[in-house]
Amino acid sequence: MNTLSADFFQQDPVTCARALVGCLVISGECAGRIVETEAYSAENDDACHTATRPSARAFIAAHPPGAAYVYLNYGVHWMLNTLVKPTGTPHGFVLIRALEPLQGIPLMARRRKAARKTPPPKNDTRWLCSGPGRLAAALAIRQSHHGTDLCNPDAPLRFAPRPASSPAPGILASPRIGITRATDLAWRFTEKDSPFVSVPARGK
């Protein structure tokens, strides 16, 4: 299985976030199509970890483009980001926010059920990966993936290009959600009309 090349992650974060919609995330036997991303810039973006966390700046210095930046939020949810390092323009991250489940659905369901008391919906896979915390749980992403190379074709966790068989998606830009700072930037990218996004883009 081929992967996205490191070059891909040498575009600026916003370009990269948009281009990732339609690509695949693979984790062992599980795989899904990216339908929602957000870009974060290491400079002039108060919502980026680099604005408040020295460790995020150290991570950028120490890792190549395409490295996984994984962290725990609210003490509960793992977040999957990838490091983006263009030459000449600011570095940054792309947060993977939602997937359309494609492969390994029973395993994803098993992992996700552990976090629920009530039975999940039947004949519906939207509850599996429609949110950054959800997809991390479904793909068993955790601290051990922090710093791993998502461009490594031999790694269990990696990106793959959009399959030639799948058409280029229509993409909507809208403000990032779930953040308290820099909420004006339209740096969230969703696949138009996808039922698998976490929250539908408003307007237009």
Partner DNA sequence: TTCGTGATAGAG
Partner DNA sequence: TCTATCACGAAG
Residues binding DNA (CB under 7 A)? 38, 40, 47-49, 52-56, 69, 71-77, 79, 81, 93, 95, 112, 115-118, 127, 131-134, 176-181, 198
* DSSP 8-class letter at 136: H
The three-point CA angle 79-84-85 to 5° equals 150
Is residue 185 a contact partner of residue 45, using CB atoms and an 8 Å limit?
yes
Q: How far is the CB of 17 from DNA (least distance, A)?
A: 11
Q: Closest CB to DNA among 24 and 68?
A: 68
Q: How far is the CB of 2 from DNA (least distance, A)?
A: 26
Q: How far is the CB of 163 from DNA (least distance, A)?
A: 25
Q: How far is the CB of 41 from DNA (least distance, A)?
A: 10
Burial class (CB in 10 A: 0-12, 13-18, 19+), 113: middle
Question: Could you give the CA distance from residue 16 to residue 19 in angstroms, rounded to a whole number?
Answer: 5
Q: Closest CB to DNA among 2 and 181?
A: 181
Q: Closest CB to DNA among 116 and 204?
A: 116
Q: Closest CB to DNA among 35 and 47?
A: 47
Q: Closest CB to DNA among 114 and 164?
A: 114
HSE-up (13 A, CA, CB side) for residue 197: 23
Q: Closest CB to DNA among 108 and 164?
A: 108
Question: Could you give the CA distance from residue 132 to residue 129 in angstroms, rounded to a whole number?
Answer: 7
Adjacent-strand bridge partners of 27: 30, 157
Q: How far is the CB of 183 from DNA (least distance, A)?
A: 10
Q: How far is the CB of 70 from DNA (least distance, A)?
A: 10
The three-point CA angle 70-71-74 to 5° equals 150
Please count the residues of the chain. Answer: 204
